[in-house]
Amino acid sequence: MYPSSPSAYDRAITVFSPDGRLFQVEYAREAVKRGTTALGIIYKEGVLLAVDKNINSKLLRGESIEKIFQIDEHIGVATSGLVADARRLVDHARIVAQEEKMTYNKPIDVQMLTQNLCDLKQAYTQFGGARPFGASLLITGVDDKGTRLFETDPSGAFNELYAAAIGGGKAEAEVFLEKEYKEGISFEEAVALALRTLKKVGDKKISKETVDIYYITKKYKKYTKLEKEEIQKYISKIK
């Protein structure tokens, strides 16, 4: 008979339980759920990323908390989960992007980069002496196929979506996005939708200090930050 307790199967990443589960991967997903909420939304002219930095102490300097990272001029990544694990994946993604540019003299395809990152994630679920990355990523960018938004999982799986959420408020955010998102929305509508979603799933308090928004347009294919003053204007409108 198989032991009823999962503890017999969660001591090593290479051991499946009788019902086909890898408990260490599931524990990594739980680590992601403890992270702050991050959103990705495709709009008519491009794609944007928004995160709630969850600044819960007046001693914290908001600018020191980084949850959105530039990979290349045309690609950005939002993270949730263990920050150190996310930085390791971001560093790997930057190297892969630069190698593609140096070798082929062209920017890397967004899906190709996503596949490469997920191959690395999957490898850490297959070999002993390692653990899965406790981080999920939203990978956004603009390439020859248009605007792209991918959600990645600690297991190495990924999906392409029009709007997505990761982190602690994932389930509630996705329900709200499914209800409110419309294909072909404008940039202003996308920013407002992102802020409304963060306000709904977070601690109900958002400000220009606690929210970061970055976007990439199809026209310029350039990673750009929305300034704090602009964020505050949008927050005032949704209030």
Note the pLDDT tens digit of each residue in 98-136. Answer: 999 999 999 999 999 999 999 999 999 988 788 899 999
- Residue 200 pLDDT more than 50? yes
Q: Give a yes or no: residue 101 inside a domain.
A: yes
The predicted model gives 226-233 an average pLDDT of: 94
Question: How confident is the model at residue 61, as a pLDDT?
Answer: 75
The CA distance from 37 to 16, in Å, is: 30
Q: Give a yes or no: residue 128 inside a domain.
A: yes
Query: Alpha helices of the chain — where are they, by DSSP H?
Result: 23-33, 83-104, 110-123, 170-180, 187-201, 228-238
Name which of 203, 201, 202, 188 is nearest 238 in CA terms: 188
pLDDT-derived band at 2, boundaries 50, 70, 90: very low
- Residue 233 pLDDT more than 60? yes
Name which of 91, 78, 142 is nearest 120 in CA terms: 91
Q: Give a yes or no: residue 85 inside a domain.
A: yes
Residue 36 token pair: 């702050």
Lowest pLDDT segment from 22-36, 154-168, 200-214: 200-214
Q: Give a yes or no: residue 29 inside a domain.
A: no
Q: Give a yes or no: residue 219 inside a domain.
A: yes
Q: What's the domain range around 211?
A: 39-53+65-238
Q: Give a yes or no: residue 76 inside a domain.
A: yes
Q: Which residue has the tokens 């002219």?
A: 45
The CA distance from 234 to 209, in Å, is: 13
Q: Tens digits of per-residue pLDDT, 43-70? A: 999 999 999 887 777 777 767 788 999 9
DSSP string across 34-78: TSPPEEEEEETTEEEEEEE-----TTS-GGG---EEEEETTEEEE
Count of structural domains within the chain: 1
Question: Which residues lie closer than 8 Å to 74 by C-beta, 6 or more apart?
Answer: 107, 110, 141, 142, 143, 216, 221, 222, 223
Give the other-Cβ count within 10 Å of 219's Cβ.
8
pLDDT-derived band at 5, boundaries 50, 70, 90: low
Q: Give a yes or no: residue 193 inside a domain.
A: yes
Query: Residue 108 belongs to a domain with what CATH number?
Result: 3.60.20.10
The CA distance from 110 to 139, in Å, is: 8
Q: Give a yes or no: residue 16 inside a domain.
A: no
pTM for the complete prediction?
A: 0.92
24 near 131, Cβ under 8 Å? yes
- Residue 3 pLDDT more than 50? no
134 near 31, Cβ under 8 Å? yes
